[in-house]
Amino acid sequence: MREELSLILALALGGAGAGRAETHVEAIGDPVRGAEIWVYCSGCHEIGPGAQASIGPPLTGLFGRRAATVAGFPYSLSMQRAGQDGLTWTLETLDAYLENPVVLVSGTRMSFPGLEDAGERADLLAFLRQYSDKPSNIPEAAPTARAGDPVLSEATLALVGDPAYGEYLSSECTTCHQRDGSDQGIPSITLWPQRKFVLAMHAYKQHLRPHPVMQMMAGRLSDEEIAALAAYFGALGL
């Protein structure tokens, strides 16, 4: 799947500078097939001239737009923070979000489990790009983020963290995150499901999420330390 996506991205992004401006919409995928997939999105989103906010924000002009910037739309706090951290919708970040929304934005309210097939994502992106201001000029991803899920071995996912060790490590986390689970401008990580915590931290560690401070902090942690923190915060207060 990732080899297929790499080929799609290579075709879509082409070379640098003027070469990218000559890229055609068809280079991503098939917008006609993408329109068929869009039917499943249209229950929550509108697109095209006159598109309005519905359950989700309108997606006209999506490429190159900073996350959570449609005026008046009640985005989740997680999406607002992602936008504040610099998340911009590009071919790469949209592909990552469509593949697994909660890996890129943990608290997203989009009720969509993810589109596993890279070809279907490419077709949908080709359809969406037709409604952007410059459909042949795809903005590059923000320099602090790249596309995809964190690449983790089964052994890493199977690690059983030590909550006591996690508590020892947690003081750096709780300088910002509240142990009682309250949200004071920083999202709560108390009682997070352990797998979600591990995926999120490795997404920062592998520079999939665009928060430079969290990238730095996660980069200092070993797999065992991340598992320990996940075990501690996952049971905190129970």
pLDDT tens profile 98-134:
998 988 898 899 988 899 999 999 999 989 988 886 5
Range scoring the smallest mean pLDDT among 8-12, 30-34, 82-86: 8-12
Give the tokens for residue 227: 């598992």
Sign for the CA dihedral angle at 97, 99, 105, 110 comes to positive
Asked whether residue 142 carries a pLDDT value surpassing 50, the answer given is no
Taking all residues of the chain, what is their mean pLDDT, rounded to a whole number? 81
- Ordered domains of the chain (ranges, CATH): 2-129 (1.10.760.10), 154-235 (1.10.760.10)
pLDDT tens profile 164-193:
999 999 988 887 888 888 876 678 889 989
pLDDT tens profile 14-62:
333 323 333 333 368 888 899 999 999 999 999 988 999 999 999 999 9
Q: How many CB atoms lie within 10 A of CB 145?
A: 26
Alpha-carbon dihedral 191, 173, 68, 7, rounded to 10 degrees: -90
CA distance 140 to 143: 8
